[in-house]
Amino acid sequence: MPESSPLFSLVYRSEASRAVHEVTLGALVRKARLYNQQARITGMLLYAKGQFLQLLEGPEPALSDLYARINDDARHYDVTTLSYGPVELRSFGRWPMAYASVDAAFLEKVARCLPKPAAVGLTAEPCPEVALLLRDFAKEQEQAQ
Ligand code: FAD
């Protein structure tokens, strides 16, 4: 889809609060997808043993507004920004928020190889872990249709 304003991308990680588990996350993800869709924000959220890793991409200021709300959310803490800046292309353009529960080692690998601002996006050459995620997300999407 053509972008109407400059595209930014954000990656952060955080620790889930004790009350958060995969069941409560289902509701969070459903609500987030609705919001992201109307704000033209796309991305993915990974959850592994109490840790979150999220990539979000979209127009400013929608992205920074959302990040401020996410930062204030009591369902997680120690929110650490790994990268934030302009990108040329969306890496998760098909997903208002893809979600996967993964193991901790996989989350670490993805944290190291997610596309950084100024990179041209995953269409260039996703690392094997992210390529695997994209394949799984696409499969889920096809099954849901
Ligand atoms: P409100 O819905 O008014 O909630 C205010 C506060 O109440 C929240 O900050 C939270 O601390 C608490 N709260 C709200 N609902 C619940 C609940 N069901 N259980 C327990 N506490 C609750 N939102 C998006 O729109 N898009 C995203 O991509 C996105 N990603 C997120 C990723 C993570 C890891 C987390 C923890 C949250 C994410 N959210 C996302 C939710 C986001 O933080 C806000 O809750 C949401 O944007 C609504 O904002 P609000 O100010 O209207 O909050």
Q: How many CB atoms lie within 10 A of CB 143?
A: 7
Pocket perturbation via mutation, ligand 1, pick of 56, 75, 79 by most ligand atoms within 8 A of CB: 75
Domain that holds residue 43: 7-144
The predicted structure's pLDDT at residue 2: 65
Domain membership of residue 103 (yes or no) is yes
Atom in ligand 1 nearest the alpha carbon of residue 70? 43
Domain membership of residue 2 (yes or no) is no
Tell me which residue has its CA closest to atom 15 in ligand 1.
28
| pLDDT tens per residue, range 82-124 | 999 998 889 899 999 999 999 999 999 999 988 777 665 665 6
Domain membership of residue 1 (yes or no) is no
The answer to whether residues 52 and 21 touch, using CB atoms and an 8 Å cutoff, is no
Task: Tell me which of 70-74, 116-120, 132-136 is least confident.
Answer: 116-120
Split into its structural domains, the chain has a count of 1
CATH assignment at residue 85: 3.30.70.100
Domain membership of residue 13 (yes or no) is yes
Domain membership of residue 78 (yes or no) is yes
